[in-house]
Amino acid sequence: MTNKETIYVVSDSVGETADLMVKAVASQFLGKDVEIKHFSYAEDEQDINNVITAAKYSHSIIAYTIVLPALKQYLDQRTAEEGITAVDLMLPLMNAFTQTFNTEPSHQPRQMRKLDEDYFKRVEAIEFAVKYDDGQEVRGLRLADIVLIGVSRTSKTPLSMYLANKKFKVANVPLIPEVPPPQELFNIPRSKCVGLMITPEKLNEIRRERLKNLGLTSPANYASLDRILEELNSAQNIMRKIGCPIIDVSNKAIEETADIILAMFNKRGSFANG
């Protein structure tokens, strides 16, 4: 017959951290039947008293992640008075942070939720960049924070993904002389559109290398200088018609181009909520 024990998980937030830690520890005691009970969003002394009342009549442990100093102190005091074992799961690591990095914690609850929100915004932006890559679904142009336009091999896709990792929704559209650009390009605010240009020589070098990597060694119109000049001239005319800023990406790393774009948009106030 197993001896059932109770662990009260108390937190001033949801309590996922405490719950996972308790389960990880409990899994090491195979002979024990452990029941975990949750008290989430503990905000005041009454919430603590409710836990104490439940715990003092059973053989139990209180495991908690509470960062509000006054509430933590009250819980420590009350559990000591009642002879209940209470464990602050965050204290050792908090002390290590303080001593090693010479900094103090904010003692603000629910900070993990803010981190989670940042994470999900980043994921959403990455999914957006994939969905609206290379001119797919022009509806994305209206929904995007940034729209990148340019000829093939001007780093539109990697730049879109880099900016997405900074939580910006980016769509990109390839400019091809034989294919009219979508009308939506001329309907969106030109302030959120960015043209990417490159020197003919650099683009010729990039495209030749691309063909080589694909195993295509015979001459191809894609990499011919005449074709490249035609594409760049057509693209520049479209960019001028839209009235968007143009960045020469010939000798720039993705990070450098992204910094230019963000600085430009921040200066205009376009990313006030970014």
135 appears as a binding residue in the annotation: no
Give pTM, 2 decimals. 0.61
14 appears as a binding residue in the annotation: no
Q: Which tokens belong to 1? A: 């017959």
157 appears as a binding residue in the annotation: yes
Q: Do domains 3-109 and 113-268 have the same CATH topology?
A: yes
- Cβ pair 76, 68 in contact under 8 A: no
153 appears as a binding residue in the annotation: yes
**Ranges of H-type helices in 83-153:** 91-101, 111-131, 139-143
154 appears as a binding residue in the annotation: yes
Residue 273 is predicted with a pLDDT of 37
Q: Which tokens belong to 109? A: 């609850």
Pick the CATH number of 3-109 from 2.60.120.560, 3.30.420.40, 3.40.50.720, 3.40.50.10700: 3.40.50.10700
Residue 154 is predicted with a pLDDT of 97
Residues 44-81: tens digit of each pLDDT? 999 999 999 999 988 899 999 998 899 999 999 999 99
Residue 219 is predicted with a pLDDT of 60
CA distances from 177 to 142, 224, 248, 250, 264 (A): 23, 15, 19, 20, 28
Query: Which residues lie across from 192 on neighbouring strands?
Result: none
Q: Which tokens belong to 91? A: 């204290």
- Cβ pair 10, 43 in contact under 8 A: no
CA–CA separation, 121 and 265 (whole Å):
19
Residue 272 is predicted with a pLDDT of 40
Class of domain 113-268: alpha beta
Location of structure tokens 């002394």: 45
CA distances from 97 to 2, 22, 102 (A): 39, 22, 7
151 appears as a binding residue in the annotation: yes
User: Residue 186's Cα: distance from chain center in Å?
Assistant: 30
Residue 17 is predicted with a pLDDT of 81
150 appears as a binding residue in the annotation: yes
160 appears as a binding residue in the annotation: no
Domain ranges within the chain, ordered by starting residue: 3-109, 113-268
First to last CA, the chain: 58
Per-residue pLDDT tens, the chain, 274 aa: give them. Answer: 345 789 999 998 878 888 889 999 988 987 778 899 999 889 899 999 999 999 998 889 999 999 889 999 999 999 999 999 999 999 999 899 999 999 888 777 666 556 567 778 888 999 999 999 999 888 889 999 999 999 999 999 999 999 999 999 999 999 999 999 999 999 999 989 999 999 999 999 999 998 888 887 656 788 999 999 999 999 999 999 999 999 999 999 999 999 999 999 888 765 543 3
